[in-house]
Amino acid sequence: MSEPIRVLIADDHPLYRDGLSALLDAAPGLELAGAATTGVEAVEMARRTKPDVVMMDLRLPGLNGIGATRGILAASPYIAVVVLTMLDDDDSVFAALRAGARGYLLKGADHEQILRAVRAAAAGEAIFGAGLATRVLAYFAPQASTAQAPFPQLTDREREVLELVAQGRSNSAIAARLQLSQKTIRNNVSNILAKLQVADRAQAIVRARDAGLGHQSRT
């Protein structure tokens, strides 16, 4: 027969703490390791009782739940801390995760959600309440690049000409490539120099290459 999952509660609200204690104590496969009412007490009780899971409120007197989570995990990184709180703002959620919490539930969660979270955390899973998982995933998802194209003051045509200038092409070669007159290319180059505030073509090439233009091989 497998060992029961030992759970420590850290919550300073007597009614909620007592109700949660009764829930965990009565659940099959779970064992209540104790109940702390302050952050410092939670750290000490976790060190002494070595629970598998700590159900952590964030609003604790003295040392808050974030600090208590850090303290518990610094001494016993194998313990799974699941936050169970009224706070649902992003700052609280991500501060808890950065402190090492393995899950985050709101106190509106029903009994089944709480028991499922305890068992999932003990099994090494991350668990989040309704609505929180989507926010966490969005926060950690790779963000689409919003990098602006280099030299936004240039027109598309001027940027195209600058790309070719940066490749070392002459005005006549650029004109042939773009099927434009050499006069048009000269005008574009003059505009580019003025907009980049550089004195000559060589300085424009340096600026362009620094911005990542002109590195493809010439054809």
Whether pLDDT at 100 is above 50 = yes
Domain ranges of the chain: 5-140, 156-210
pLDDT at 155: 87
Choose from 23-27, 52-56, 120-124, 137-141 the range with maximum mean pLDDT: 52-56
Class of the domain covering 5-140: alpha beta
Asked whether residue 13 carries a pLDDT value surpassing 90, the answer given is yes
Does this chain's domain 5-140 share its CATH topology with 156-210? no
Question: 156-210: which CATH topology?
Answer: Arc Repressor Mutant, subunit A (1.10.10)
Q: Is the pLDDT of residue 146 over 50?
A: no
Q: Tell me, what's the pLDDT at 216?
A: 58
Pick 143 or 29 by higher pLDDT. 29
pLDDT at 210: 87
pLDDT tens digits, residue range 160-193? 899 999 998 999 999 998 888 999 999 999 999 9
How does DSSP assign the chain, residue by residue? -PPPEEEEEE---HHHHHHHHHHHHHSTTEEEEEEESSHHHHHHHHHHH--SEEEE-S--SSS-HHHHHHHHHHH-TTSEEEEEES--SHHHHHHHHHHT-SEEEETT--HHHHHHHHHHHHTT--EE-TTHHHHHHHHHSPPPP-PPPS-TTS-HHHHHHHHHHHTT--HHHHHHHHT--HHHHHHHHHHHHHHHT-SSHHHHHHHHHHTT-S-SPP-
Stretch among 65-69, 143-147, 192-196 having the lowest mean pLDDT: 143-147
Q: For 38-72, write each residue's pLDDT tens digit.
A: 999 999 999 999 999 999 999 999 899 999 999 99
Q: Average pLDDT, stretch 70-84?
A: 94
What pLDDT sits at residue 94?
87
